Amino acid sequence: MVRVGLQISATLENIERIETCHPNYSFFVKVKCTNCGETSEKWHDITESERLQGASDSRNPDGFNFYMKCKMCSRENSIDIVEKTNEPYTQDDAGKFKAIVVFDCRGVEPVEFSPRAGWIVHSAENGQKFEDVDLSEDDWVEYDQKNKNSVGVYEFASQFVKLKK
């Protein structure tokens, strides 16, 4: 079992913090089978509030946040979001990579992340709160009616980092 952290980096304009709408946020990832090295071509979604049953796994009757049988080697792989690892990305973190969630990976690891929709943006100085923000374009700009200035998320980037046990 390997723990992998998803780190993000962005530049924030007049924003105090951004966060995912966990546990209902869907992390869209491409995954790689650690047994045969096969990397998925399509995006898979991993959502903390949703659990899938494994085909023949009696060790975990509650299921997993993500489950798949590898097309190449037929191994059964799964991923769970580690509870309480969701972290906001704040003004203090801006421009640096910071982990916003940790995945427990069994036989498969995420290798690419697509941020998509479901982000919550809190403007600086008690400004407007924006919900269900879509970061698909890697840049996002809006106008804060409360503070009367523009707010933005720029240069969004992400990476996966293996964590030591």
Which residues in this chain contact Zn ion in the complex, by CB under 5 A? 33, 35-36, 38, 70, 72-73
Nearest to 141 by CA among 11, 7, 3, 4: 11
Give the list of residues 6+ apart from residue 164 with CB closer than 8 angstroms, or none: none
As measured in angstroms, the least distance from the Cβ of 69 to Zn ion is: 9
As measured in angstroms, the least distance from the Cβ of 164 to Zn ion is: 25
CB-nearer residue toward Zn ion: 37 or 95: 37
CB-nearer residue toward Zn ion: 77 or 158: 77
CB-nearer residue toward Zn ion: 101 or 108: 108
Q: Quick check: 46 and 68 in contact, CB under 8 A?
A: no
Chain CA centroid to CA 155, Å: 16
Q: Which two tokens stand for residue 150?
A: 């523009």
CB-nearer residue toward Zn ion: 72 or 157: 72
As measured in angstroms, the least distance from the Cβ of 90 to Zn ion is: 38
Q: Which two tokens stand for residue 94?
A: 């801006």
Q: Which two tokens stand for residue 33?
A: 């089978």
As measured in angstroms, the least distance from the Cβ of 29 to Zn ion is: 16
As measured in angstroms, the least distance from the Cβ of 76 to Zn ion is: 10
Nearest to 144 by CA among 133, 159, 129, 157: 129
Backbone angles phi, psi at 62, to 5 degrees: -80, -10
CB-nearer residue toward Zn ion: 107 or 115: 107
Report the DSSP pairing between strands 119-123 and 129-133. antiparallel
